[in-house]
Amino acid sequence: MAPLRCPDVFNMYTYNDHAAYGIIEVIENTFLDYEEAGSWKDQWVICEGLVLFVLGPGSEYFQVEDGSRADAISELIGRLFLTMLARLEREQLLEDQSSDIKNLGLIMTLFIKLASVMRESSLLQEDEEETVKPSKFKFSPSDFDAYILAYANKFAITLQGLADLDELLAELDTYATLPPSGQDPWGWNAALKSYSKDYSTSSKAIIGGDNLDITTWSSAERKQHSFTKKDPLTKKDLDALKSGGVLHIM
């Protein structure tokens, strides 16, 4: 949870971008959750939550000091959703317009909107093509919204839900092509591995975790960074956490 990684919530100060990097940690955990999810339904729920989060409070990471990392994770968010759409294609859920996914057009639209919002924050500015092995399909990860539109066009999916949808679509490349259907047509596995290698905080190329979750810190660490020099978590809070409870932040 992002609030648990925000020092302001606990009346603390660590460093300026703690909350923003905390959001990145949450998003990375989402990637790992997607990897662990076995069914397409579970993966779809993860994508739903991800786009709503990043369009909302999760957008704080856009201005993080490490612009390269912000850009890399933004491209990875888009690639994750393209990988999700490819999974749905393999399951024939796009072709059949399955009633199991009642918000398909809406979520696709929200990811298109997300790409536009990211560009307004100077992300997704690179236009480099990447070749996906073994299909040799070439695409630009920063243009993931154009490929979402290509899926919508291919399967006659109605995009919906936003008043400015026509303006968003008018800015996209309508000639974007899609890769052959396969297990990993968008190179998700290789991209996640590369990102993990570049931005892991350990030698094992592991991303995510709870290092920035303030509730996982020792009481002494929290006191050190607290404005009052007291632990912002009460004994009741700590006992609840030890027993497996979840701290609710308003």
Burial of 83 (0-12, 13-18, 19+ CB in 10 A): buried
Reply yes or no on whether the pLDDT at 139 is more than 60: yes
Both tokens assigned to 112:
């298109």
The domain spans of the chain are 2-213
Residue 151: is its pLDDT beyond 70? yes
Give residue 239's pLDDT band: very low, low, confident or very high (50, 70, 90).
confident
The pTM score is 0.93
Per-residue confidence (pLDDT) for residue 56, from 0 to 100: 96
Q: What is the 3-class SS of the chain, one letter each residue?
A: CHHHHCHHHHCECCCCCHHHHHHHHHHHHHHHHHHHCCCHHHHHHHHHHHHHHHHCHHHHHHHCCCHHHHHHHHHHHHHHHHHHHHHHHHCCCCCCCCCCCCCHHHHHHHHHHHHHHHHHCCCCCCCCCEEECCCCEEECHHHHHHHHHHHHHHCCCCCCCCCCHHHHHHCCCCCCCCCCCCCCCCCHHHHHHHHHHHHCCCCCCCCCCCCCCHHHCCHHHHHHHECCCCCCCCHHHHHHHHCCCCCCCC
What mean pLDDT is reported for the chain?
92
Name the band, by pLDDT with cuts 50, 70 and 90, for residue 236: confident
pLDDT over threshold 80, residue 2: yes
Instruction: Note the Cα 192 to chain centre separation in Å.
Output: 12
Distance CA 180, CA 168 (A): 26
What would the two tokens of residue 34 be? 């997607």
